[in-house]
Structure 1
C-alpha cells in the first residue's frame, strides 16, 4: 500500500476515529470529575500505576523499551481483538480515558495545568492519536465481523491485512518515537516547568 492508499483508508474510517475520540474524551472527563468527587475510588484506579514505579528505576533505554512494548501491546490488542465485535477497543478507549482523567486531576491539583500539559503533550501528541487510531481500526474490524456474521458483504480478510499493515508501517514506529520522547524529552520539559 502506498501513502496515498493509507490516506484514503484513514478517510474511509473517519466515523470509527470519531467514535474512539469521543469515547476516550468522554471517559477522560468522567475520570477527572470522579477523582474530584470520590478520591478513594480514584486512588483504587491509580494503584496499578504505583505498582509500575519499578520501571523508573531502570536505565533510560530500558524505560523506553518498556513504555514502547506496553503501548504497542495496548494498541495491537485494541486493533486485532476488535474482531470480538469491537468490545475490546471500546474497553481500551474507556479505561485509558478514565485513567488519564484521574491522573490529570491529580496533576492539576498538585502542580497545575502547565505541569499536566508538560507531562502529556511532548509524547502524547504522537501517542494518543496512534492509540486512538488503533482503537478505530479495531472498531472497524468488529463492524466488518458483525456484517459478515449477518451474511452481508464484507472483506474481513482484506480489512485484517490493512490493520496489520498499519500496525507494522505506522503504529509501531510512531509508538517507538513517542516512547523515546516520553523517556528522554518529557522529563526534561517537566523539570523546566516544575
Structure 2
C-alpha cells in the first residue's frame, strides 16, 4: 500500500538523519526545562513577568472560549507553530529553529516554577502536562530537529558547493510533518481539550 511505503520511507529517513539530533534535543530540552524552572522559582519578579507574557500570548491566540480550550484554535496554532519552526530552517547558517526551542523551554520552566511557588505543586503540573505532552512534546522536538536538519543541509550545500539535493531534504521534512507531526498534534489537541481539564479537575477537586 502507498501509505505503508510512505511510513517506511519516513522511518528510514528518521533513523538515518534525525534520530541522533532528536535524542540530543530531548535530553537538552528536559535538562533546560528543569534548570529554567529552578532559576525562575528563585526570581519571583521575573517569573511573574514571564507568566504575564505567556497569559497574554494565550489570550492573543484566543486559545480559550467560554467552554474552555478551543480544540480547533489549539490545533491550528500548534500546526502553525511547528510549521514555522521547520520552515525557518530554510534560512541558512543561522539555525533559527533554536529560538522556538528555547521559547518552549522557558514556557514549560515558567509554568513548572509557577505551580511550585504558588503551592499547587508539581503533581498538578505533571497532570496538566503529561497526558497530552507525551504526544505534543515529541511532535515539537521532531519539528525542531527538522528545522535544524534543513538549515544544516542548505548551509552544507552553499559552503561546499556539493551536488546535494536540498529539494529532497524539503520533501523528506514535509513527509515527516504530514505523517508524524500532524497526527501527533491532532491526538494531543484532543487530549488537551477534553481529557486534561477533566483530570485536573479530579486532581484539584474542582
Question: Please, what TM-score do these two structures have when normalized by structure 2?
Answer: 0.85
Q: Structure 1 stretch 27-36 or stretch 95-104: which is displaced more?
A: 27-36
Match of 1:55 in 2: 63
Count residues in correspondence: 193
Task: Say if 1:64 and 1:183, in contact at 8 Å, map to a contact too.
Answer: yes
Question: What 5-or-longer segments of structure 2 have no aligned partner?
Answer: none
Secondary structure, aligned partner of 2:35? helix
Match of 1:32 in 2: 37
Question: What 5-or-longer segments of structure 1 have no aligned partner?
Answer: none
| Dislocated runs of 4+, deviation >6 Å | none
1:164-179 equivalences in 2 (<5 Å): 164-179=174-189
Report the aligned-residue RMSD.
1.8
Secondary structure, aligned partner of 1:104? helix
Structure index of larger Rg = 2
The equivalent position to 2:143 in structure 1, one of 134, 144, 154, is: 134
Cα offset for 1:170?
Answer: 2.1
Question: Please, what TM-score do these two structures have when normalized by structure 1?
Answer: 0.90
Q: Structure 1 stretch 23-32 or stretch 109-118: which is displaced more?
A: 23-32
Cα offset for 1:59?
Answer: 4.1
Greater helix fraction, Structure 1 or Structure 2: 1
The equivalent position to 1:118 in structure 2, one of 123, 127, 136, is: 127
